[in-house]
Structure 1
Amino acid sequence: MNKEKRHEIFTRLRAENPNPVTELEYNSPFELLIAVLFSAQATDVSVNKATRKLFPVANTPETMLVLGVDGLKSYIKTIGLFNAKAENAIKTCQMLIEQHNSEVPQTREELEALPGVGRKTANVVLNTAFRQIAMAVDTHIFRVSNRTKIAPGKNVLEVEQKLLRFLPKEFLLDAHHWLILHGRYICTARKPKCDACIIEDLCEFKEKTSS
């Protein structure tokens, strides 16, 4: 795909949604970190349902640590992999208190050192909470990047690197949100809604669907 096409694709996505935001509900970098940690292999809807009850009770490292693993589990048992996620969240709270003055760190290295925080989670926090240029490639972004040929790659890291390299700078800060929303609602896994897609004429997917 040439750079003119990429520019037009993101021009249209931006025009449709000038200020895209995550669908996870949060009011602080800590709440976002915990919500993203919970969201692995779970839907944002299920995470929001749990955190709406959890965050009024525990929305700082200290208050969450007081809950303990078992206490936290009772709030998030509707989320997949809740046992491991509760343990990681409590360990993360402990590290934030002991090593970061209860603040969420703003570097990838420090974030990835936290239990349960991988590259994708770190990228979401850096981009969404701290407005740093970072590309968190999940299944939606991986699919859209490969289907459209915006940034095809064999794995998530290759797609991430290509997106950062190929996309015009003016779109880099919000590209993650546009792509994830496009993959979630339009360029869906089983049957993409090509007839409802605003970039259908620019997309290089060979097996487009029609109603």
Structure 2
Amino acid sequence: MDKFDKLTGVAAPLDMINVDTDMIIPKQFLKTIKRTGLGKNLFDEMRFDEKGNEKPDFVLNKPAYRHAQILVTGDNFGCGSSREHAPWALLDFGIRCVIAPSFADIFYNNCFQNGILPIVLPQADVDKLMDDANRGANAVVTVDLSAQEIRGPDGGVITFDIDPFRKHCLIEGLDGVGLTLKKDAKISTYETRHKAEQPWL
């Protein structure tokens, strides 16, 4: 997966609580096992009407936020069913960081496995970033994972906590497979020794 160290981009405000995975990527789009191509269906029922036309009032349809890379949202983001397609859709759209007061556990873990940084902040800090994000094209925010800082368009700095191991994996671009491959030499040594000691297996 792609490494994540420092990200500077437009932050889109999605001021909603309890955004579930079916809202993020509706069930009719779960037929694929590919991680690409789902961005066009991100928030499908909120972005499009019954005829497939864009709803101009939805935040990601507004010109200023069409290429947003950061999403500032409400409490309990990613609740509902444990579909990995949800972070796939966010990533394919271009979202690399989601900031909220809380996340559903499975969605939170899936983000790290797909190169998305989910940041948990107190409500007061989320409110400040939500206000920053409402500036439209001027809502440029920098997320510095190494320093564990978020810098707003007015120069303000918010710090955040993150598990050191997950931080390391994101900076190095390591998912579960990548972590295993880092130990390829040790695995090969073990397999060779095991085969020599127990050739009948």
Q: Indicate the TM-score class for this superposition, using the shorter chain for normalisation.
A: under 0.3
Structure ranking higher in helix proportion: 1
Q: Give the TM-score taking structure 1 as reference length.
A: 0.27
Q: Relative CO higher for 1 or 2, CA cutoff 8 Å, sep ≥ 6? A: 2
